[in-house]
């Protein structure tokens, strides 16, 4: 495993490489954020950003979305994967927000994960991006990159999240989450990583074979 000094050096280099790394999902408020993140499961942020403008124009608040029929919402999101399940989830999410939280997105983890379509990753993204908490949200990019370069050595998403929380400085959790995502999209590709472009190649366990 890396020393604390090495970890901070890795994070410094990633942040220097991706100074503008932030949530790529376009949203105007926390309600739009939680819906967009829920829609992004097993779908690219780019694909979600194509469908959400019309969706949010039709249903700008939880109150409008809560009154919608699943089939109506499906028409707005049918270009992304699992659109029927996701339509059901975001309508259910809106209904829960209206009924339980006066139309407001709750700002604590336990309440968030009770909402339809909201798992650990979505809850962590909402708390980080929407409420400014330091959180590590582990998506496919974070899972792959963190384990590939050797920040952690875990076999599943939950263990990866918990181990990253253990080894990374807490004040860098959220920024690291975004840096790892950008690195996974731009350089550390799943099939053909562009190692010649990598700012942390000297640390990478994948390259060194250690």
Question: Which residues are known catalytic residues?
Answer: 121, 139
DSSP character at residue 69: -
- Give the contacts of 135 (CB within 8 A, at least 6 positions apart): 124, 125, 127, 128, 173, 174, 177
Matching residue, tokens 């400085």: 169
Q: In b/e form, how buried is each residue of 156-165, taking b as 16+ CB within 10 angstroms? A: ebeebbebbe
Secondary structure of residue 9 in the 3-state scheme: helix
CA distance 56 to 39: 13
Tokens, residue 150: 């050797």
Phi-psi region of 132 (alpha: psi -120 to 50; beta: other; left: phi over 0): left
**For the chain, percent helix, then strand, then coil, each to nearest 5?**
60, 0, 40
């Amino acid at each position: 495993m890396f020393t604390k000094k090495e970890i901070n050096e890795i994070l410094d280099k990633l942040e220097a490489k991706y100074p503008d790394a932030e949530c790529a999902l376009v949203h105007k408020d926390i309600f739009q954020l939680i819906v967009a993140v829920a829609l992004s499961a097993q779908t690219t942020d780019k694909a979600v950003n194509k469908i959400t403008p019309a969706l949010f124009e039709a249903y700008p608040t939880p109150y409008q979305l809560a009154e919608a029929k699943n089939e109506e919402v499906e028409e707005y999101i049918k270009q992304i994967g699992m659109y029927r399940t996701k339509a059901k989830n975001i309508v259910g999410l809106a209904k829960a927000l209206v009924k339980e939280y006066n139309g407001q997105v709750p700002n604590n983890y336990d309440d968030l994960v009770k909402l339809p379509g909201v798992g650990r990753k979505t809850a962590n993204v909402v708390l980080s991006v929407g409420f400014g908490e330091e959180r590590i949200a582990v998506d496919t990019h974070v899972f792959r990159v963190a384990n590939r370069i050797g920040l952690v050595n875990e076999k599943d998403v939950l263990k990866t999240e918990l181990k990253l929380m253990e080894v990374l400085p807490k004040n860098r959790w959220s920024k690291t989450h975004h840096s790892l995502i950008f690195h996974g999209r731009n350089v550390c590709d799943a099939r053909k990583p562009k190692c010649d472009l990598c700012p942390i190649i000297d640390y990478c366990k994948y390259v060194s074979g250690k």
